[in-house]
Structure 1
């Protein structure tokens, strides 16, 4: 085999289609059929005409390759190879090396994000330079500003962008400082100029492409540091501050005689600092203008706060110390309780205080030696100098009722079932149980929960396992609980196997598949004869039950179980001497084919005249599955599968009535064509036993004339299941000269071709 072409160097533009003609000469003594393929451009779509080129010895033919050059193929020279393969004479594979020169097509796009930025001084814009051509580009960026006082700066003004890539550039536009005034638009025009980064010497380029240009605009809307509204507000605040100062000075003059805070009793100070108590105020006396008392020398009040609901410590409760002033109560100090409910007020003047306890979600309370009371009944707590108030000022406060809301998510279930939600307190013995039911969307709301407390929440849904969780609520809290996904409960299938007259059938094996594993039970022969139970079945699911017995044959039935559901009372009838066949029908891709007709051949006529039992493969659920029951055993049958658009298929099935029925796996191919004809010998008589070989250059089929399925008497041949296309058909026989013919096969049709063997073959 010899290859010849007109051009070893091919010129092409990206995104176009080129033709590569290759002349092939058959240098062997045999009829040959050749095919070709292109190596070196994996992303290029290639079509070859013809797909199979038949050649007689010494003949010459032409293969034309149509190559779609990818639009993204980079400019320059690309080595490619045409591979020609022989399918008849067995000649060695030939290779033809070519150079594909792709012209340069520079192109680019400029993107900017965002187009406008509102800021006080500067804005950052993202510019994307995208090279949409097939050659590298040198890019230059420049910006022009309408306002001479503004500036613009690129992260990179010059860059090289490879073909098919995007390069980001940051542009910072900065305006002059503005203290006051109205907003101003600072517009920047971005100009881009690009030229090819390099020329391609192999292309012998003599002229440089013109520069590429692109432009866009961005706007910095600059706002002043102080807006007009802010200036107005500052002026008003200044006026208010002046009046407030005047007012405070006046109050200081009026209230300056408060005896409690002006001077501290002599006994408050350490003895070593008091020399003459009766003379004047001791040195170091604290005037009211100096602020609070140093905590090291002030008095202390401490205690523990617990909740009335569960008698547990409560944290984050605000404790306030109030003293009686000349014009009413005065708030002196405050602190928050710790996690263990304890609090400590320090640095208090030596006098009496009333304690108030407040927090969101709790009823306000005042301390008294009788418990929590209102303000008018509060007990004053005396605080000595440099000491602690007598005893612990403990108190029990009442929390407001809390609530819990959440969602019950039933997952992929198509039916939304109501869920009963129950809340039980874990630390309040006498707390009432609160329950509710979810709405159509699975949402629930539990109100009136005593708080603070820990609660156990239980979720009960029909068909699902009961789920529990634990949560805590503070006083008055409206808690949003995480979603709950209940797990479906297992199901059960029970029933009875009986004969057509209602007699229970014992010794029947009931099998099904659970998560890929086979589960089987046998119906009892004494006691509850014929009954069966399959438990712990995951739901929701569809189960195929198979009933087999050496005595009664076999049968099947399908049971659907919803979430957590059970199917009781399944009754299946079996007949002595009958069995069933199950299986799957799949397409060329291995997926199930639904809606196909399954016909049983070899069945004897029944009393009502039925001779060909049929069924249809499932179109939903377990798609492609089929089941045929009531077949007499032992017996031999033929199952024929037909579906529009696919070639029919027949398979034999043998039933012995003892072994478990077979599971038939069948695949249908797309509707195909065929080739048939008659073979004649040297005397023009039909020839039996000739070898017929059919090939499309990739796959070979064989047949023997006069074999099974022959047509037109002896010497006929037939090959089915051929994809549409052109085929080489060759007939050979010992001592006779072979003949080869080219035949075109159409989809769904059979092409006829007669063949003649000549005399004098070797």
Structure 2
């Protein structure tokens, strides 16, 4: 029985099924439990083989862990239980595992930042990481609403694990003058609306260039799928404007000075008083209100929180004087409270970051106002800080740097402490460029600020990693990374207690260099070679193989050294005991013997084989070192107990020759009685074996009964009684019409005794038929039971006299009453009958009959 028969299975989590098996036979039985319909790596059966005494019930737990990415829906699987031994029955119960829907679509921008004019093109990689087929689309949005987004293709259908690369075409009005406009934007995954193919939303045409997929995003919307930055260069760059400005400044310098002095002189006292009053009222309102704003500041390049950023609130009509200030905490959060009702603009400034006005504007004029009523709060504000994309350049040095690759990766772990060499990473690749023939490399448009790993790799060389902390808009040059050639080798052999081990894993690690291989399984079994190792270095070599405990070596390699002859010896990770069970004195293998192995805290059970290799048994998974008690038992055999000790390598230290030779020669716990029964004739001469003789053994209330064989001829008259409990028995041999014979025999455990018997001849009737004193030849003699004569029942036997008038009925039922009738022929009338006579067992009765004279 399997419980439950239907369960919800979440990928990556264990689903536990309980299998209950009951032994309904009257002998010790075993069964195997298998789970069908799933990959073997997904399933663990805690007790795949069950051993049970008669009437006992055992349980096994089946643990199913479906991997991530298994498609949603119902999966039909089954639990199979098969009885051990010849003709074992098999039971199969179906199990339904339901994998719930887990839709998920991820997206990433390549590159994440593009510097352009009015238009820019981004690559977007969209991947379905869920377990259902998804029909979705991308939508883009920027807080200022100054960028329009288009996608080619604009919708996609992705099966689980499938990915597609789309093209994002961003377009926005570029600034005429000044600094480049930094326009951060977000990408989200959205269900397609309306007829996307025709550019319609809700049945109404969408203007050319508008985002046909853009939904309204709620304040509690999930995080964006990707964040990008469009940096738009101004129409007139800063250099040209600086030249023009210099010329204009020379011309109007005197005018500016004159106007400024005139303005100061002419400003009236009333104007100054009014300005002071407005400022005072504004300051008082900012500290006595009941409204507030709150939110968080995150890094544009990675989305991580940013602490210590100054947050300033300004009156929307006067962005020159801050009414309230605060700074983000360690979680990047901020809050400005006690604000008066009104419209505000927020400015965010941090060291190394570009100044940003909420939500992502470079100036107050383009900033979005926040309208607060009395007692209202604006929460959940998110601001992204960043700078102009950075540029990294440097040189890869070494003997042969041509063909090397430089990758810029996001570290998977927290940055190491200063001065420590970073470990090799496998994070997301931000940029990848080939190294020039002279070893130079350049990484442009790097999102900043952020921490990156620069990874240099080339086949045959050790991978080198250098961690860099990139500031906003930084132009980092002079980075130098040395590419180390792998010119060292380590070779050797992996052996175990039974000899060389094939398919063992060998992993060598030195710093950020990891090289692995496996040992040979053919030819020079167990040998290995690790190549392309950078030298000089100290390597930690870990050797592991299934069923063995791992070994760790520390090896030093000098420059260009080829280290040979390394030997790694693996001990077993668990012990194993096995052997043969036989029955004396035949020495034949005994199947169905229960074998119990116990260390006092835990017990392992198995049954000796009955078919392929009768008497063989084995138990694995034993903790080592340890001492185990091995018990052999079967109902008809005397139990045996052996104590075996195993060392840390699984070898036997006492109790047996070897771990696979824990043998047992068992004696029967019952006895056997065999023999042959013969028969004699009426003269006492043995005539041969007697078939169908009933042999009865009695001991107290116990009684056993068999019959001697009638076929084949070689076994005629033989009998055998097996599985007799030791004791004293009365053995009686009986056969119809023959006198019974009894003997007493005492049997010991394991004894096979022989008891032959000879029975007397069966009862018979013979005689002579005479007429006028001479033998009557050729007359018919009929033998009747006395109770049947004169009825319709015929004779039990009939014969014809010899020339001398003799007749014989050699074997008749006894004891019984008979009479003899004589006729001239079978159809003639009776001439004479004898008196009624009684025949006893084994009696040779003579009955003569005299016929009347003719």
**What range is the shorter-chain TM-score in?**
0.3 to 0.5
Q: So what's the TM-score if we normalise by structure 1?
A: 0.34
Bigger radius of gyration, 1 or 2? Answer: 2
| TM-score (norm. length: structure 2) | 0.30
